[in-house]
Structure 1
């Protein structure tokens, strides 16, 4: 029985590589798409040798929306699973004073990933099956002063995934939204993360793999985040404006 290839957009990230290892361990061929993809040759060789699967590298820039169709055409095969791990946290203070910085954060977290998944969704729909997984963020559930540009972009991405899931229902193509909360990666290095609310890339990858097989719609990687965000969403606006969450 053949196993579907997995395309990982943002394959250079800690989460992307953890997902590559998790799926490869289950026998899936892996397609790693990232900027300067050739520099991932050591990771490519390690995953291929360790798990005995084909691993291919593909040049991908989430901001080069005109190149998305060509990227899919260049793949060894149309994947059965496509995962977007693309993201850029940026610096809120910089985004607030520099609109070009804010625009890059918004494009990296919303425009690029959403556009790429639109192209993939159309091909999956024409074929009649596939799984699309978008890594979004709990930051998108309510705008907060400390990260509202990033959060707004992730909110847009979460809404996009929801709409895409609704559109494709019954087509054989499923869309799953992942809300990780804090993840200990290079992107969060130096941040004082609360231990109980923080997961690691390998744990995240295992949970995504299981949830994808179960065709879940939306998952919080750590269940406690459902409660945390329910509380944050319930804070009245006059009170919320006095907080710096």
Structure 2
């Protein structure tokens, strides 16, 4: 039985992963902004077999609230074996390009708050000599593109941060997993036209649980995105700038 903290527990991908954790009897501490949305998720996971599913409301953008939440999670779970960071926003690139405040707000949610939370988690786990931190990033962080470079650059910052943290924690007993999903059919992407590259939240959630269990360092999900992004990164800049990606 694992003791698992999930931040962003009402996201479609987090719910898909949490259902798998619940079915094998793990103990869950679930965090999200909306208590109204969170309580039904906790109840559902309890019915599915979770040893316990505790709901805790917090806005991750409020950096000052992170410490109290982590204290509560450690007290409730008796220690954190796995922390799964699954929240984020998909900002309007046009609005971010026009308004510096919008760009900064997108970065705060998708990068700054994640870095702050993971830093606190890493220090706590390192003190105990064990744990795993899994963070949802995105394939968008692999190369800046005109269509979503504010979001992509925030994810790139998270990727580099996690790479460095993984290096720092090597040999400490604490592992760091970077999760790089491609296009996923969730409420966050509801306004985007769907195509064959879109995966279900259930597929991505299953891949994440498998990567956590194997204590992987990086996982692309679905796996074909590793090949796609390798090709995109290899395209020369002069050619790349002629595309509409």
Structure-1 separation of matches of 2:171 and 2:50:
34
Whether 1:131 aligns to 2:132 is yes
| CA positional deviation for 1:38 | 4.5
SS in structure 1 of the partner of residue 126 of structure 2? helix
| CA positional deviation for 1:154 | 0.3
Q: What residue in structure 1 maps to residue 122 of structure 2?
A: 121
Deviation string for 1:111-151 (max 9, x for gaps)?
Answer: 00111011011010000100100110000011000000000
Structure-1 separation of matches of 2:15 and 2:215:
22
User: 1:38–1:57: 8 Å Cα contact kept in structure 2?
Assistant: no
Q: What residue in structure 1 maps to residue 192 of structure 2?
A: 191
SS in structure 1 of the partner of residue 9 of structure 2? coil
* Cα RMSD for the two superposed structures: 1.2
Structure-2 separation of matches of 1:202 and 1:71:
27
| CA positional deviation for 1:5 | 1.2
Alignment: residue pair count: 242
| CA positional deviation for 1:193 | 2.7
Give structure 1 stretches of 5+ with no counterpart: none
Structure-2 separation of matches of 1:113 and 1:34:
14
Structure-1 separation of matches of 2:227 and 2:47:
41
Q: What residue in structure 2 maps to residue 205 of structure 1?
A: 205
Q: For 1:44-193, what aligned pairs fall within 5 Å after superposition? A: 44-75=42-73, 76-77=76-77, 78-193=79-194
SS in structure 2 of the partner of residue 216 of structure 1? coil
Give structure 2 stretches of 5+ with no counterpart: none
Match of 2:32 among 34, 56, 79: 34
TM-score w.r.t. length of structure 1: 0.95
TM-score w.r.t. length of structure 2: 0.95
